[in-house]
Structures are given as C-alpha cells and as structure tokens.
C-alpha cells in the first residue's frame, strides 16, 4: 500500500512491479505525485507544502529538538513564520529572537536568516513565502551544520 494525503494505492505484493505503470500514467498526466512526496525530509526535520500558487507558498515545517536550518538568504522571496508549537530561535541579520507558540516573525527578501529549535520537543511552524520565484534552489547558504551546499 502507498498512501499520500490525496490518494491511496493498494496492490497485491505479487504485482509490485506494476506500480511502475501507475507512476508512468501519473507522469503522462503531469501529476506531481509521480515524482514528489508530500513530506520532504531533511537532516533537521521535514516540511510539506500546504498551498502553492503563482506568487506564494504555504508550508508546515517541523524542526527536531536541538536541530537548526542553515544560515541562509533568498534572492527571490520573503518569508513569514508563525510558530504553532514549541519555540524557535530565529536569527534575522544581526537580531536573534525567541519566537514561541502563536507568535510570528518576518524575514525580508535578502535577509540572512536561520531557524533553530532550542527545545526538547519538535518545533512546528507555518511558513508563508511570497515572491517571484519559490523554488528550493533559491537558497544561498552561509553556514550549515550538515555540510550541505546551495544545491542540497
């Protein structure tokens, strides 16, 4: 069985190779489910896109206790972060702020920023991105504890 938020595929184990046909059919129809998973797992936790349009994207981001995203900036987008649970330690340029449940912070276009989870429970936030380009490759990394470059 394969399940996503909007579809379920159930197949007998003996027919597992036929899943390729289902994936090919999805690809031929231009369906994103053929190549994208709902959750994008990273060393620090995971995120999923909740809404995506021409100039905005809404994501749920979950950061593991003690984990941190890279110190980064974006050329084409700004971000609004709303903490749903836990606490975020947020760096925006030279300012470091603790943001707790039901609080938000704005990251302007081009600002050097980082989010960390200083707590002992997963930190959950909603991110609203706005801008002319919202791809994951619009990241300039300055520091990364996971030794990733801008293409990871």
Kindly report, residue by residue over 53-62, the tens digit of the pLDDT. 999 999 999 9
Same domain, 127 and 54: yes
Q: What is the arithmetic mean of pLDDT over 103-111?
A: 98
Yes or no: say if 46 and 62 are a contact pair by the CB < 8 Å rule.
yes
Maximum Cα interatomic distance, the chain, rounded to a whole number of Å: 58
Q: Looking at the domain assignment, is residue 7 inside a domain? A: yes
pLDDT value, residue 74: 97
Burial class (CB in 10 A: 0-12, 13-18, 19+), 41: exposed
Q: Look at residue 47 and tell me whether its pLDDT is greater than 80.
A: yes
Instruction: Name the CA dihedral angle for 96, 100, 106, 111, rounded to a multiple of 10 degrees.
Output: 30
Give the number of other Cβ atoms within 10 Å of residue 4's Cβ: 12
Task: Read off the pLDDT band of 25 (50, 70, 90).
Answer: confident
Residue with the bigger pLDDT between 36 and 84: it is: 84
pLDDT value, residue 63: 98
Q: Look at residue 151 and tell me whether its pLDDT is greater than 80.
A: no
Q: For Cα atoms 149, 72, 89, give the angle at the middle one, nearest 5 degrees.
A: 125
Same domain, 65 and 128: yes
Same domain, 17 and 76: no
pLDDT value, residue 3: 59
N residues, the chain:
152
Same domain, 31 and 76: no
> How many domains are there within the chain?
2
Same domain, 30 and 84: no
Beta bridge partners of 45: 42, 63
- Domain extent, residue 54, equals 39-143
Q: What is the arithmetic mean of pLDDT over 91-106?
A: 98
Q: What is the arithmetic mean of pLDDT over 99-107?
A: 98
Same domain, 137 and 84: yes
């Amino acid at each position: 069985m394969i399940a996503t938020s909007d579809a379920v595929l159930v197949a007998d184990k003996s027919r597992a190779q036929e899943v390729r046909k289902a994936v090919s059919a999805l690809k031929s129809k231009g369906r994103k489910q053929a190549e994208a998973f709902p959750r994008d797992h990273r060393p620090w936790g995971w995120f999923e896109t909740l809404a995506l349009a021409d100039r905005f994207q809404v994501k749920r981001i979950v950061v593991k206790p003690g984990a941190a995203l890279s110190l980064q900036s974006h050329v084409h987008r700004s971000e609004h972060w709303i903490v749903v649970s836990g606490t975020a330690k947020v760096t925006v340029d030279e300012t470091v702020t603790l943001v707790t449940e039901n609080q938000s912070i704005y990251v302007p276009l081009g600002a050097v920023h980082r989010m960390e989870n200083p707590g002992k429970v997963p930190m959950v936030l909603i991110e609203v991105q706005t801008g002319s380009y919202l791809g994951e490759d619009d990241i300039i990394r300055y520091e990364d504890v996971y030794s990733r470059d801008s293409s990871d």
